[in-house]
Each structure stands twice: as structure tokens, then as C-alpha cells.
Amino acid sequence: MKKELFIILLLIPLLSAIEITLTKESHQPQETLQATFTGNFVSLTKENIFIYKDNKVHSEPVLSDLTKQNRTYYHYALLPNQEGNYSLRIENAMYFERGKIKTETIEKNFTLLYKNTSDLSINPGFVIPEKDFSIKVKSLYKDTTINANFEATGETKTIFLIEGVEETISFNIPENIPPSLSKLTINNYEIPVFLIKKSNETQEEKIEFIPFELTGTIITNREYSFSVIIKNTGNINLTNITLESKDAVINPKKILFLEPDSIKIINITIKTNKSLDSFVEAIVSDSIFVFPFYFNVTTNESEVNFSDEDKKNGLKQLGCKEIGNICPENFICNGETIGSLEGGCCLADCVEEKSSSSKTIVGIILIILILLLVLYSAYKIRQRRKLKSAEDILKEKSDRYSQRLKGEEVSGRLDKI
């Protein structure tokens, strides 16, 4: 059977669609907005997030922040002091959707409306403490009493708030508290508290695969090649990342260097006659990061759920520095070249082009030898075909006639002169 190779960027389950979730759809002016973003983001920073009012970006600075914990982004913003129709928008952020990299705007609408309810302004909207921490709280309507409870320690505080006056509440972090996701409950607000290791322990290797898994249906005993992004989500350089799998061929098998927040493309080739529940391991120092893949097999072409254009349509929207190399002058790509934001991008290594000077010299010598041979042959032919003079002809016939008179055999015939 003829070997067939299908190039696929990824097969992402439907749950991977980008989604913005707000804690509520309607807020008071100056209240704290809390949101979570889920999906396969390639890159997302708080500079990609905007507050719009009536389809215009809000001119006043909005105090906000963003953090990524596991596969979820947490965002908060202290809202403007003006009623109206607003939207939270993510702009110019790269993300995967149905196997393609997109940068389209994602938005979620909400309203700001004054209410006769005891809503609060809380800053910050999430906490990542390394030691004891505090938050600022303000009542937006009338004086009120609030109860604040820190889930991780059980510590509780009761504070009386005067409308419009900001108060600070402090909480203790025990030395031996384990890393976890906790929360601070203030009346009906829940503030995420991400308890992490102490700062002198946070220098660690971190790798993220985008997408976080591969899944789908493929043809039995047919070869498939998938392109997957590896991203260094830690804060230190990673060296000598080894990639291994017992059920797939990986190229490259080693990434020599990966800076923080940078990415590389790896190709995962699979061929199987049975369903697969397997994984790729990325090994760096003493850490192992796992990329799972799950595939059912079929003999029915109509059940295969992928598009062989996904790779080119997706990768060309990335910068070449993110996915490969731009080969300098006198270097050529030792592998596949694909389009990118900067143009042609080499997904393999750039190798020095072999010098053509020696080939040129050999070519010139061959041409000279051929010309000499042609000239020599022409000369010999001309010599053979050179015409005899009349004097030579008379002498030759005279000699032949003399030989005949002597009775010697004469070859040829005696022509008239």
C-alpha cells in the first residue's frame, strides 16, 4: 500500500474553545470585576485585555492584573465610575481554535448600573502571597459590616465600612502552609488566593504543551504527523530538553535551548493498528512533563476528523522566531520551510551552503578540454581532406605512366590530362 503522510497541526476537543466567564453580568461603577479565561492560548498578557464602553476603549486607566494558574487565566479590574454598557475584550492574543491559530477579538458584555445594594470595591481581585498579605476594601453603597474569612487558615475578620472609605484587612500566612488554591470570602465575594512556594524555591523548570493533548480518529496503519508547540512557561532558561515516546516518532528528539516565554515546534509522527492511549515525555534536568495523545482507529475515511491544511494555515500566523529560523545569507534550510509573519521560515536547522567555487573550476577545466578536443578533431579532418595542387597531380601521373612502360603493375586507371 502506498505510504501516505498527512500533516496536522492538532485535533482539539470542543471544550478547548476560548471562553470568558464573569462572576456576574451586572456591576456597580467602581466595583471589582472578576473574570476567568479558558482555552488554548499561545500568548496572553494583561496588555491584551481592554475595557470598552459603547464600542470605544475606555480612556481612563483601569487598575487590573492577570495571572495564569494551571490552564486557567484569572483577571480582575476595578471598574470605571460611570454607568453604561461595557465589554471586556481580549485583543491581538494568539490562541488555537479548531486546529487553527487565531488572533480575533474575544469579548464579553456587561453593564454598570448604580444599585441600592452593598457592593464592594476589592483590591486586588486575587492574591499570590509569599508572606502575610493585605487587601483593600470599600463599600459602594451605605455603611456596612463585612465578614472576611481566609479558607486556608480559618482566620476571620469583621470590619465596619463607611461608604466610600477604603479599609485595609491583613491576613497571616503560616511558615509551613502547603502550596494550594485557596480563597478569601468577603460577604458574597470570593477572592482566589494562590499559595505558592517561597521565592527562594520558585526557580524551577516549567513546560507547557499547546494544545495540552491530541485526540481524534485516524486510519489504521497510516502514518500521521502532528505539529505541537512547546512553551517555556518558567522563569529560567531550559537546556537539553529530551523528548521521548514509545508510540510515536518525535522530531527533533532534543531541544538544546529554550528561553522563558519562548516556544518551539515539534513534530509527532504516529502509525498504529490499534487505539492509542499514550504520551510524549519532555525531560529536562530531573523534571518530566507529559503530553498525552488519544486516538481511535478506523478503516473508514469519512470518520477521520482532521484537515491537512491546518498546519500551514496555523503556523503562518506566527513569527518565525517563535517556530523556527530565518536562514541567513549563504545558509539553506535542512528541512521543511513554511510561511510565517516574516515570510519563509525554516522549521529545521539552517546549514551552510556548500561553496560552489570548486565546482566552477572543474566546470571551466572540462569546457577547455572539450574545446581542445573539438579543435584537434577539426584539424585532423581538415588535414585528411586537404586538396592536392596541380603540380602534385602531374607528378603522380607521370610516375604511374613510367611504371607502366617498365611493365610494372599500375593500380587504378590512366586518365587523360
Residue 178's pLDDT is what? 85
Residue 231's pLDDT is what? 87
Q: Strand 19-22 to strand 56-57: parallel, antiparallel, or no bridges (unpaired)?
A: unpaired
Mean pLDDT within 252-271: 88
* Segments of the chain assigned to CATH 2.60.40.10: 15-195, 207-318
Residue 339's pLDDT is what? 63
The pTM is what? 0.59
E strands, 126-206, are 133-139, 144-150, 155-161, 167-171, 180-186, 189-195
Mean pLDDT within 138-156: 94
| pLDDT at 2 > cutoff 50 | no
Residue 61's pLDDT is what? 62
Mean pLDDT within 204-215: 82
d(C-alpha 118, C-alpha 139), whole Å: 7
The mean pLDDT of the chain is 81
Residue 263's pLDDT is what? 84
E strands, 262-404, are 263-270, 276-284, 287-298, 331-333, 337-340, 343-346, 350-352
Q: How confident is the model at residue 403 (pLDDT cuts 50, 70, 90)?
A: low
Mean pLDDT within 345-374: 76
Mean pLDDT within 258-275: 87
CB-based contact 129:195 (threshold 8 Å): yes
Among the ranges given (55-64, 149-158, 298-307, 312-321), the one the predictor scored with the smallest mean pLDDT:
312-321
Q: How confident is the model at residue 322 (pLDDT cuts 50, 70, 90)?
A: low
Q: How confident is the model at residue 62 (pLDDT cuts 50, 70, 90)?
A: confident
Residue 4's pLDDT is what? 40
| pLDDT at 417 > cutoff 70 | no
Q: How confident is the model at residue 305 (pLDDT cuts 50, 70, 90)?
A: confident
Single out the residue of 290, 299, 341, 293 nearest to residue 320, CA to CA.
341
361 DSSP 8-state letter: H
Residue 379's pLDDT is what? 73
From the number of C-beta atoms within 10 Å of its C-beta (0-12, 13-18, 19+), residue 302 rates as exposed
Residue 98's pLDDT is what? 66
d(C-alpha 209, C-alpha 213), whole Å: 8
Q: How many Cβ atoms from other residues are within 10 Å of residue 217's Cβ?
A: 15
Quote the percentage of the chain above a pLDDT of 70: 76
DSSP-assigned beta bridge partners for residue 350: 333
Mean pLDDT within 168-175: 92
At 328-347, the pLDDT tens digits run 777 788 776 766 655 677 76
CATH no. of 15-195: 2.60.40.10
d(C-alpha 196, C-alpha 160), whole Å: 31
Quote the percentage of the chain above a pLDDT of 90: 35
Single out the residue of 230, 310, 221 nearest to residue 270, CA to CA.
221
Q: Which CATH code, of 1.10.3720.10, 3.20.20.80, 1.10.10.10, 2.60.40.10, is assigned to 207-318? A: 2.60.40.10
